[in-house]
Structure 1
Amino acid sequence: MTTNMAGNTIKRILALAAVLCMICLTGCAGSVTVSDPSSAAAPGESGEQRADSRAVFHFIDVGQGDSTLIEANGHYMLIDAGERDQTEAVTSYLKEQGVRNLDYVIGTHPHSDHIGGLEGVIREFEVANVILPQKEHTTRTYERLLDAIEDRNCKITIPKAGESYSLGAASFQIISPNRDYDDNLNNWSIGIRFVFGETSFVLCGDAEKEAEEDMLSGGLALNADVLKVSHHGSSTSSSPEFINAVSPRYAVISCGRNNDYGHPHKETLDLLKKQGIKVLRTDQLGTIVIESNGTDLQVMGQNDTSQGTSKQTEESLSGSEYIINTNTGKFHLTDCKLAESIKEENRRQFNGTRQELIDQGLKPCKSCNP
């Protein structure tokens, strides 16, 4: 990327962010008014909750990327939108859910697997407010996003840890980033804690352990019923201390099937399993929808609530652990003697069902007969 382009990018995001100084602003296309963040209810104080109100989290399957749609009382926000080639999948899904306006669009950080599809979303829907971290990038994907924001006359908000915003009868608080992370884009990820009634959700983009340490020392509430596991389940995130602080019932991992990074990593899965946290993965289940009525959670289509889990549901969600030899195309039980001799570069851990592996064209080991 040329020096001129880098300079132009910095100037552009600073110019766009300058709209924060204006007293009164309209949303994209001038049709939606943005609430003043300072007047939003603090988490746990989001106003009276109607008996029929609900909050729904849609962890959209965008392959090796992230995209989460949140609905509360007819209000919507979108966090990330996968790679650019997922634009149609995300916009179509939003339309299927009846989305016409988005109160907020959050691009957690400038990596393409998070912001690639946001350009198309901003051009397709009425967007009241775009929230981006104060970290410029010089890729063409990021340039396109800024072009869309500028073309649609959107307001950019630079988040600050501790600020709270309202969404219908719910609210969310910014919990990261907490400081300057130089060129580590993952640690610049915008993290939020979303509260609806007595239920809560934490989502932190690709924040790594360094950023998690800052969240732990930041003094803000982190406990939640649901954690969207950072960085697609990579071992660079999800420190034991952070997982203990959040202490979720459910851990949602967004990743692509048979991705090149080996996500989610075994270390992360072992930690979640040790803590008794139920793991839900988009590479195994597709789009995951969790609904809250303000008291209980339900994983839609799984006949499961936070009050108890049937044995059948438990098996369908978590399956079993297997070891895959990517060189031979065979899978083994974790205690199989042959699995112990697999070279590290050919070894991959899989948490799911036997049938899923067979459907992928893999063959069971004849020795351990998994």
Structure 2
Amino acid sequence: MNPSNQGKTGTHIPFIFILFLALFSVSVFPDNVNAKALKNATFAYLDVAQGNAELIKIGNQAVLIDTGKHSEYSTLQSQLKRLGVKTISTLVVTHPDADHMESADDVIADYHVKKIILPQIASTTQCYKRMMSAISKHKVKRIHPRTGSTLKLAPSCKGTVLSADASSSDTNEASIVMRVTYGSRSFLYMGDATARVENAILASGKAVASDIYLLSHHGSDTANGVLFVKKALASKYKTAIISVGKNNSYGHPVANVVRRAETYAKALYRTDQKGCIIATTNGENLQIKFKKVTHSGSSYNRSSYRSSGATKSSAAKSSSVKDVSEVVYITKTGTKYHTKNCRYLRSSSIKTTLSKAKSKGLTPCSVCKP
């Protein structure tokens, strides 16, 4: 053999060998971040009657989004126990309406909450004051996110804040709206955000498409606009959920909102019909199952559960009693009822009774405090 040819053959062998290894490594060990194995995660939509409470559980870390009302606290506890929750690392309060956060003080005390995420807007209600007192007493870290913030909720699980309107005096409009991702799966939490908030989110161009979309305000027509619902359900699993109480006095969910969700969703589930709705995912696949719930309702006695809160509970109850025939004022498209001279009645003022306003799902204005 010609010595010069022997040398050329020798230089080709390592090159071919290296090329083979490179091709082999690409096919067997793909460079794909999403290929990293994730733990099975639970995204549960708890049945707390006419209210909201949602759980994210990954390993031994739990995040609770809203708590529901005091009357359903033992119902909340039983569902958390069934799901293996002993402590809650993070509590998210979307906004300070009682049906979303009246049990926040109990949750903070009983589940050793380390961090609470809540909007800038405050409230004068007794349940809000109890929550703030519990935050101070138990040295809970407070976070007030801004629109566009990214929150690390649990391992491999983050939340993007789509709205957190610090300038709004309306509790619903100030709701924290958050899109949570885990691997390739996504979950949208709306609080009681209004149509105005939905339109602002769409105008911002932020992603809203989510595998599971929790409709705003228990299926009220003060939100859940056609375009927003359509875009929110433009996802792989196209699942819509409504958290609502059976035979509630507000008429939730509104029929046209239900039809709208059914138009764009592959599946629509309601807590008043299915109970606790439990989604499990490894970041890729997603399965949903249901657990029936027995409600504590009016049988829950706060004073017997937490004696230190008995006086506060009685005071809150007496201060909240109002004559249902009391006159209040509303607007054509608003979500609140007002006193006669409230500044929010400049463009529209419709006289009605307190009972009728409540039956429409309206809540008291945080400015005029009717």
Q: Tell me which interval the TM-score lies in, with the shorter structure as reference length.
A: 0.5 to 0.7
Pairing partner for 2:284 from 270, 295, 298? 295
Amino acid at match of 2:63: M
CA contact (8 A) 2:38 2:283 kept: no
What is the deviation of 1:127? 1.3
Pairing partner for 1:252 from 218, 229, 241? 241
* Inter-CA distance 168–162: structure 2 relative to 1 (3 Å threshold): same
Secondary structure of the 1:89 match is helix
CA distance in 1, matches of 2:98, 2:290: 30
Pairing partner for 1:103 from 86, 89, 103? 89
Pairing partner for 1:214 from 200, 203, 206? 200
Residue in structure 1 matched with residue 158 of structure 2 by the alignment: 171
Q: After superposition, where does 1:236-251 map in structure 2 within 5 Å?
A: 236-247=222-233, 248=235, 249-251=238-240
CA distance in 1, matches of 2:189, 2:279: 14
CA contact (8 A) 1:176 1:204 kept: no
CA contact (8 A) 1:72 1:169 kept: no
Residue in structure 2 matched with residue 62 of structure 1 by the alignment: 48
Q: After superposition, where does 1:157-196 map in structure 2 within 5 Å?
A: 157-166=143-152, 167-182=154-169, 184-196=170-182
CA distance in 2, matches of 1:49, 1:62: 36
CA distance in 2, matches of 1:257, 1:250: 21
CA contact (8 A) 1:90 1:117 kept: no
| Aligned: 1:118 with 2:95 | no
Which digits, 9 at most, give the CA deviation of each residue in 1:13-52, with x for residues without a partner?
xxxxxxxxxxxxxxxxxxxxxxxxxxxxxxxxxx777535
CA distance in 2, matches of 1:228, 1:136: 24
Amino acid at match of 2:231: A
Amino acid at match of 1:175: L
Secondary structure of the 2:227 match is helix
Residue in structure 1 matched with residue 134 of structure 2 by the alignment: 148
CA distance in 2, matches of 1:258, 1:266: 14
Amino acid at match of 1:273: E
| Aligned: 1:283 with 2:269 | no
What is the deviation of 1:100? 2.8
Residue in structure 1 matched with residue 69 of structure 2 by the alignment: 83
CA distance in 2, matches of 1:178, 1:111: 15
Secondary structure of the 2:145 match is coil
Amino acid at match of 2:102: G
CA distance in 1, matches of 2:78, 2:133: 22
CA contact (8 A) 1:60 1:68 kept: yes
CA distance in 1, matches of 2:110, 2:290: 29
* Inter-CA distance 58–82: structure 2 relative to 1 (3 Å threshold): same
User: Which structure 1 segments of 5+ residues have no match?
Assistant: 1-46, 303-344, 346-370
CA distance in 1, matches of 2:264, 2:206: 22
What is the deviation of 1:93? 2.4
What is the deviation of 1:164? 1.2
- Stretch of structure 1 that moved more, 144-153 or 98-107: 98-107
- Stretch of structure 1 that moved more, 121-130 or 85-94: 85-94
User: Which structure 2 segments of 5+ residues have no match?
Assistant: 1-32, 292-355, 357-370
What is the deviation of 1:82? 0.5
Runs of 4+ deviating beyond 6 Å: none
CA distance in 1, matches of 2:69, 2:290: 27
* Inter-CA distance 259–296: structure 2 relative to 1 (3 Å threshold): same
Amino acid at match of 1:265: V
**Matched residues, number:** 256
TM-score, with normalisation over the residues of structure 1?
0.66
Residue in structure 2 matched with residue 137 of structure 1 by the alignment: 123
Amino acid at match of 2:156: A
Larger Rg: 2
CA RMSD of aligned residues (A): 1.9
